[in-house]
Chain A
Amino acid sequence: MTKKLSKSYFTEDERILRVWDIEDIKDLMARRGFYIASEMHREELNDLWVTSPEYRKTASLGSNLGYYVGMDDIANYYVVKHTEDRQKLLDACCAANPAVKNHRDNLGYGCMTFHPVSTALVVLSDDGHTARGNWYVIGQDSTWQPGGPASCRWSNDKLAVDFVKENGKWKIWHLVIANDIQVEASKTLNDKPTIAPPGSDPAEVEFNAGDPTVRMLTHNKVLNWSDNYPTEPEAYFHFDDKDSYGPEGHPKYEKYQEK
């Protein structure tokens, strides 16, 4: 990465546009938080993610256990599989309670997701075409269970995102959701095993069940942040795949390819 240019490199007009670029990116990620809470997964991909063929092909959605690459694979997991999972849950819910109608509008019955973002750190490339950011989420996932109560889990995640400007609008290009903690609301962290095997948490199981394009351990939360992935964005001039939050930017990606 090239050393970041000083502020004096830019004109006053450019500087205020760069200020707004960062505002727009923060706004984009906050919108995503509200889209998730309203289960607007399809709308999220349509409105907030890249749309041009060039970027659709390389877009990625990552977690601790790998990446979905390309908007088709992302949509198959994030929209199609999610909807199928919600339908299975609704089927079980209707079987348990005939008063609940098995209708598309009832998908998500007894469920709630809340993943608001905070602690924004956004770096805009000097060329102004891309940007990179980190956020932290203290969120929760509540899921209907037969007989109740619901599974109510706290979920702490670090988000790392590459953005690209398409037709004057910022879009999500690569997104990594690195989970640190999943714990039932009525339990303490002490109730969890000291070393839980990677992939043992419900969110990880769900991610893996969708058949990710690239299966690899990206972040081992057993070791907290000692693996330093995803890394904090640094000042840069223009985008380089090797530093991205896509699979190519992961330090172990070459080893994964060798396998």
Chain B
Amino acid sequence: MADNTRFTTEELVGRFEDRRDVKNLMGKYVVSMLLKKESTMLKNFWSKKSDICLGVNEGYYQGTEAIGAYYKSIDKYTIATRDLLVKLFPKQTAGKTQEQLYGIGPFEDRCINNAVVEIAADGKSAKGMWASLGNVTDVTTRGPVSHWVCATYAADFILEDEKWKIWHLLYLEDVRSPAGYNWSEGKNPFAELPDFALMAAVSLAQPNVKKVLRERYSLNRPFTKLPRIPEPYNTFAETFSYGI
């Protein structure tokens, strides 16, 4: 929490708007995953800087190309899922175009709450951290599997052409466990289904910087703190980064 007495009334209004815009940006980001808009996420939400990165449990997608390839691989998965479900459910999907059917199957509700946002005193960058308790349904070789997901988002933002953009983003899961099962066991209780065997050929792009950023929770996970919480700061050079 920055010391508000150092800012003028006009500056405080502007900083409130910045904070609101940063929250809206992250809200739009997670809703875009729900709406399967991965094909536009790089363009819509990310900075044009060369050092952008997206960190997940298994490592970083570093640079525009790697992040673009990641979203593209999700797009391919969404298409493959649609094509398989159209084949398996011809009656229910009849009469709809491929575009209309894009996104059927997977469900990615990674809603965010618990926002901590710090706008730099110079107004050029911001940092934020959110908790996410979501429900993610993947269409897999075992058919559709619904998971509870507990995760943390932590991000650096930068003001570009008067718009807030994501600079560095961490999305770190603690839990990704089939709904209705104990999440300390890491078990997938469902059997492989021959009808869904085609999904074995679909995989997401892997991080180009492989590094375990966070181990998911299990009975034998040593205690693991969350990423550092944003603190008030003047310029980005003065604070820590969620990037590599």
Q: Do A and B come from one complex?
A: yes
Question: Using a CB–CB distance below 8 Å, which chain A residues touch chain B?
Answer: 12-13, 16-17, 19-20, 23-24, 26-28, 30-31, 33-35, 37-40, 97, 105-112, 114, 116-118, 138, 140, 142, 144-145, 148-150, 152, 168-170, 184-186
Known: A16-B9, A107-B223, A148-B219. A140 touches B150 (CB 8 A): yes
A-B contacts, 10 listed (Cβ < 8 Å): A16-B13, A17-B4, A30-B114, A34-B226, A112-B174, A116-B131, A138-B133, A140-B150, A150-B219, A185-B182
Q: Are B4 and A149 in contact (CB under 8 A)?
A: no
Q: Are A20 and B219 in contact (CB under 8 A)?
A: no
Q: Are B217 and A149 in contact (CB under 8 A)?
A: no
Q: Chain B, 209-226, contact with A by CB distance < 8 Å: what is the 0/1 string? A: 000000001111111011
B82 at the interface (CB under 8 A from A): no
Inter-chain CA distance A38–B221, complex, in Å, is 14
B3 at the interface (CB under 8 A from A): yes
Q: Are B183 and A114 in contact (CB under 8 A)?
A: no
Q: Are B184 and A142 in contact (CB under 8 A)?
A: yes
Residue of B nearest to A114 (CB): B150
Residue of B nearest to A33 (CB): B114
Contacts of A13 in B (CB 8 A): 9
Q: Are A34 and B229 in contact (CB under 8 A)?
A: yes
Residue of B nearest to A19 (CB): B16
Contacts of B221 in A (CB 8 A): 109-110, 112
Contacts of A116 in B (CB 8 A): 113-114, 131, 133
Q: Are B16 and A114 in contact (CB under 8 A)?
A: no
Q: Are B129 and A34 in contact (CB under 8 A)?
A: yes
- When A and B form their complex, what is the total count of cross-chain residue pairs whose Cβ atoms lie within 8 Å? 116
Contacts of A16 in B (CB 8 A): 9, 12-13, 16
- Give min CB distance, A83 to chain B, whole Å: 12
Known: A16-B12, A168-B3. A27 touches B223 (CB 8 A): no
By Cβ-Cβ distance, the 10 closest A-B pairs, closest first, are A108-B223, A116-B131, A150-B184, A116-B114, A118-B113, A38-B225, A148-B219, A186-B182, A30-B114, A33-B114
Q: Are B219 and A144 in contact (CB under 8 A)?
A: yes
- Give min CB distance, B31 to chain A, whole Å: 16
- From A19, A20, A105, A118, B114 is in contact (CB under 8 Å) with A118
Q: Chain B, 108-141, contact with A by CB distance < 8 Å: what is the 0/1 string? A: 0000011111000000000001010100000000
Q: Are B113 and A39 in contact (CB under 8 A)?
A: no
Q: Chain B, 137-171, contact with A by CB distance < 8 Å: what is the 0/1 string? A: 00000000000101010000000000000000000
Residue of A nearest to B131 (CB): A116
Q: Is the interface of A mostly helix, strand, loop or mixed?
A: mixed
Contacts of B95 in A (CB 8 A): none
Contacts of A110 in B (CB 8 A): 184, 218-221
Inter-chain CA distance A148–B219, complex, in Å, is 7
Q: Are A28 and B1 in contact (CB under 8 A)?
A: yes
Question: Using a CB–CB distance below 8 Å, which chain B residues touch chain A?
Answer: 1, 3-5, 9, 12-13, 16, 19, 113-117, 129, 131, 133, 148, 150, 152, 174-175, 177, 180-185, 217-223, 225-226, 229
Q: Are A39 and B219 in contact (CB under 8 A)?
A: no
- Give min CB distance, B177 to chain A, whole Å: 8
- From A27, A35, A39, A149, B1 is in contact (CB under 8 Å) with A27
- Give min CB distance, A222 to chain B, whole Å: 25
- Give min CB distance, A185 to chain B, whole Å: 6
Inter-chain CA distance A132–B81, complex, in Å, is 48
Residue of A nearest to B229 (CB): A34
Q: Are B113 and A150 in contact (CB under 8 A)?
A: no
Known: A107-B223, A149-B182. A112 touches B1 (CB 8 A): no
Contacts of B220 in A (CB 8 A): 97, 109-110
Residue of A nearest to B183 (CB): A152
Q: Are B226 and A38 in contact (CB under 8 A)?
A: yes
Contacts of A145 in B (CB 8 A): 219
Q: Are B223 and A109 in contact (CB under 8 A)?
A: yes
Contacts of A144 in B (CB 8 A): 219
Q: Are A109 and B174 in contact (CB under 8 A)?
A: no
- From A12, A30, A112, B116 is in contact (CB under 8 Å) with A30
Known: A30-B114, A34-B229, A116-B131. A150 touches B9 (CB 8 A): no
- Give min CB distance, A227 to chain B, whole Å: 26
Contacts of A184 in B (CB 8 A): 182
Contacts of B16 in A (CB 8 A): 16, 19-20, 23
Known: A20-B4, A116-B133. A31 touches B229 (CB 8 A): yes
Contacts of B175 in A (CB 8 A): 112, 114, 140
